[in-house]
Amino acid sequence: MDNAKRDSVLYLVLLISMHITIYTTPTCPYCKLAKDYFKDKGVTFTEVDVAADPAAANEMVKKSGQMGVPVVELDGHIVVGWNKAALDDLIDKKPATKEKKTA
């Protein structure tokens, strides 16, 4: 298998193995952008509606220090608000980090 194909396979495996939680509310347009971002990449995530779950809202605030949504938790990293560049950065660093550890 050539390096490009191997890297693509590793990237897909890492995307699938990520643990992603998106704290949302039903009327938040930026929450929809965040959810669509992961759907477009074919990545599964857990959606938590903080408007319907006060305990989850408190958990989100403890993790992020913020009351606004969306809050994305990606393998322990917190991204507050719709920040595609930050999400891209976290996702793109995963394969490189894994590869360096195994090289």
Q: How far apart are CA 49 and CA 15, in angstroms?
A: 23
Is residue 37 domain-resident? yes
Q: Cα-atom radius of gyration of the chain, to the nearest Å?
A: 15
Is residue 78 domain-resident? yes
Is residue 14 domain-resident? no
Bridge partner residues of 72 (DSSP): 22, 79
Q: How far apart are CA 73 and CA 59, in angstroms?
A: 12
Is residue 86 domain-resident? yes
**Model confidence, pTM:** 0.75
Is residue 103 domain-resident? no
Locate the DSSP E strands across 1-103.
20-24, 46-49, 71-74, 77-80
Is residue 51 domain-resident? yes
Q: How many domains does the chain have?
A: 1
Is residue 39 domain-resident? yes
pLDDT score for 55: 97
Is residue 18 domain-resident? no
> Domain with 38 in it: what CATH number?
3.40.30.10
Q: Are 28 and 52 in contact (CB under 8 A)?
A: no
Kindly report, residue by residue over 21-71, the tens digit of the pLDDT: 999 999 999 999 999 999 998 888 999 999 999 999 999 999 999 999 999
Domain that holds residue 47: 33-96
